Amino acid sequence: MASTFAVTGSSGFIGSALVRDLRDAGHRVIRLVRASGPAADQLLWHPETGVIDAVAPPEIDCVVHLGGANVVARRWSVAQKQLLHDSRVRGTANLCRALAALPRKPKVLIAASATGFYGDRGDQVLDEQSPPGRGFLPDLCRAWEAATAEAAAAGIRTVQLRIGLVLGRDGGVLQRLLLPFKLGLGGPLGNGRQYMSSIALADLLAAIRFCAERTAIAGAVNAVGPAPVTNREFTRALGRALHRPAFLPLPAFALRLLFGEMANELFFASQRVLPRRLVAEGFTFLCPDLASTFASALGP
């Protein structure tokens, strides 16, 4: 059955792919944007206040909230951390307040979070019941998820989607890795023993649709593939997919020198996360391992 989706962050790597995917599936999509243009599918909204500029907003079945400043755009200064916090926590709280006040509330809100919630946990197997870790990213994710409370209190089914490393051709980390790997300069980060929990872009899009449709799903959901691997295994698999060597390690001290605190929480934090909620609800992965993920992302 066709539904009406409203999407924030629709111009980003994930958001733009989601808009295309939903439309291909026959759904109507309204893009919630900061600066409205001539397009009929746009609705102006203000993340700083939550105000949606429409006298009578159309009836919306599902809101997918992907907005927020880029975590890796620059080093984490005090000002940058505040920007990351405000764009996620304040922006989400304001959006939820606006949705709760609508005369026709959406049935479901799917709000982005991240596997950064779990912090650096070594070899520990993590699922949705695992407690948060320690550090800037776990604290940010915990506050980010808590900011959806007003929507849930208003009776909107609310899903906090803890998204792992998203792998697709047209953006994200894979796009940045392609050139050095094609030049034979790829390799593990540091000792390469840290676990990485990734998901194919196609599976993430399918998971969003799945969560929108399954009325029993609410709360935290890990949007990751079913087979987390170490960074060393990841780089070897990418090298094989590109038919290039992948043995030149990038020293940990060099990354810490370049990125500061960000390096520890993004590049060296070990997160062995499983998608137990999705699997329990019957979700089927299109790309259950790295070989199929890279074939999907890098193929024609």
Q: What is the C-alpha to C-alpha distance for residues 246 and 186, in angstroms, rounded to an integer? A: 5
**What pTM, to 2 d.p., does this model score?**
0.94
Q: Which of 91, 154, 134 is nearest to 264 (CA)?
A: 134
210: Cα separation from own chain's centroid: 15
Tens-digit pLDDT profile for residues 85-102? 999 999 999 999 999 999
DSSP secondary structure, 219-256, as one string? EEEEES-S--EEHHHHHHHHHHHHT------B-HHHHH
Tens-digit pLDDT profile for residues 252-271? 888 888 788 888 888 899 99
HEC assignment per residue over 167-227: EECCEHHHHHHHHHHHCCCCCCECCCCCEECEEEHHHHHHHHHHHHHCCCCCEEEEECCCC
Tens-digit pLDDT profile for residues 209-257? 999 999 999 999 999 999 999 999 999 999 999 999 888 888 888 888 8
Would you call 114 helix, strand, or coil by DSSP? strand
Q: What is the C-alpha to C-alpha distance for residues 150 and 98, in angstroms, rounded to an integer? A: 9
CATH topology of domain 4-169+197-225+272-286: Rossmann fold (3.40.50)
Q: What residue segments make up the domains of the chain, in order of their start?
A: 4-169+197-225+272-286
Q: What is the C-alpha to C-alpha distance for residues 44 and 127, in angstroms, rounded to an integer? A: 36
Tens-digit pLDDT profile for residues 273-283? 999 999 999 99
Query: Who's near 282: CB < 8 A, 6+ residues apart?
Result: none
User: What pLDDT, on a 0 to 100 scale, did the predictor assign at position 267?
Assistant: 87
